[in-house]
Amino acid sequence: MERTFREQLFLLMLCLSVPRGHCRYIEDNEVTEDELFSVLNSDLKREIPETSMYRRPLRCLDMVALEGQFMFTAETPALRCAAFFIAEPHKVFSLQYDHVDVDCRGGDFIKVFDGWVMRGEKFPSPQDHPLPLHDRYVDYCASSELVRRTGVRSSQNVFMLFFHIRNAGDGFTVTVRQHVNPFPCNIISQTPEGSFTMVVPQQHKNCSFSIVYPVELQISDFSLGHYSDTTVSKRSVTCSEARDFVELLGGSGLDTSKMSPIAELCTSFTGPTQMKIGCDNTVVRLVSSGRFVNRLTFSYNLLDQKDLQMIKLNSVDNFCFTN
């Protein structure tokens, strides 16, 4: 029987809570629901002296929430593996290759994906990411010497490293560092509770904040650049016609374009607005035309089982609940 979304999360948290544990090998180049979605657990972070670099081997199926140096050596041939990296919302990653010993001509690869992939679904979705999809994949074996020397950088707080190594004993070493992002955009939350302020400074872009838990969401401040534009309120237009608005989405996958709309907001306000969303993945998505400075502040808390049961019994929208 196929695992539910929450069971997948629990499995990964269990695997990664054991420092020397090993999950089963990945069978395909892209990770499926049975193999990985995320591990979003702040307990993964460890106290590390600032003067020393964190170092450890990568597992074939791994989640990393720290910067440091990571090594992988294939113990058996024909391994297909994936490592998912996640930082705090206001950080991005850079990756440098320290040492690579793989057979590129024989079919090996080490690929960096700018975002996360699961069962063909991608975060950020192609419509939200600043780069075309083919430019988000960087294959070490197909890269120029400049890219091999300088490395790659993520656009948001998550990226994925996946690799296929045919020969036992081959492997690589990479150094991953985190950098402050002054205007975070397209984020996956590490935890089921927290608060965040999203600011889009007159840029034509869409920014999503993904919370991979059922949560109670509270919006405390919402300011769009057309706050004083009365033409929006005088006309009976939808938020999408207003060109600057917020979407609340729910679903069980990664791709925001495949999630179901819960609500739209396109009128600025100050004061709490609360909503309980029982989806496995809750997304706050700010759509900006580039004409204004848009700002959104919200907080979120994990729903307990009682809340989930009440929502499931009373809600007419049952798209969030899967067998």
- Residue 21: per-residue pLDDT: 32
Nearest to 63 by CA among 21, 12, 115: 12
pLDDT band at 323 (very low <50, low <70, confident <90, very high): very low
Tell me the whole-structure pTM to 2 decimals.
0.81
Which residues, including other chains, have CB under 8 Å from residue 58's CB and lie 6 or more apart? Answer: 64, 70, 71, 72, 81, 83
Distance from the first to the final alpha carbon of the chain: 10
- In this structure, are strands 116-118 and 194-201 parallel, antiparallel, or unpaired? unpaired
Q: What is the pLDDT of residue 315?
A: 57
Tokens 């091999």 -> residue? 148
Q: Is 58's pLDDT higher than 70?
A: yes
* Structure-model confidence comparison of residues 97 and 280, the more confident one: 97
pLDDT, position 313: 61
| Distance between CA atoms of residues 91 and 177, nearest Å | 10
Cβ–Cβ < 8 Å for 271, 180:
no
Average pLDDT in the chain: 80
Considering 77-86, 161-170, 220-229, 269-278, the range whose residues carry the highest mean pLDDT is 161-170
> What Å distances lie between residue 224 and 32, 148, 203, 236, 248, CA to CA?
38, 42, 13, 18, 16
The pLDDT tens digits of the residues spanning 187-196 come to 999 999 999 9
Q: Where are the alpha helices (DSSP H) in the chain?
A: 5-16, 145-150, 231-234, 239-242, 305-314
pLDDT at 174: 97
Higher-pLDDT residue of 51, 104: 104
What is the C-alpha to C-alpha distance for residues 323 and 98, in angstroms, rounded to an integer?
A: 45
pLDDT at 143: 92
The C-alpha angle with vertex 2 and arms to 39 and 214, in degrees rounded to 5, equals 45
- The predicted pLDDT at position 276 comes to 87
Token look-up 């083919």 returns 134
Does residue 261 surpass a pLDDT of 80? Answer: yes
pLDDT of residue 100: 96
Is the pLDDT higher at 231 or at 111? 111
Tell me what percent of the chain is helix, strand and coil, each rounded to the nearest 5: 15, 40, 45
Residue 115 has a pLDDT of 97
DSSP code at position 36: -
For residue range 194-240, what is the model confidence (pLDDT) as tens digits? 999 999 988 889 999 999 988 999 998 888 875 444 333 333 456 66
Contact 313, 208 (CB under 8 A): no
Work out the average pLDDT over 5-20: 42
Q: Is pLDDT above 70 for 138?
A: yes
Q: What is the pLDDT of residue 198?
A: 93
Strand order in the sheet with 79-86: 61-64, 79-86, 158-165, 109-113, 137-139
Token pair in block for residue 245: 């608005």
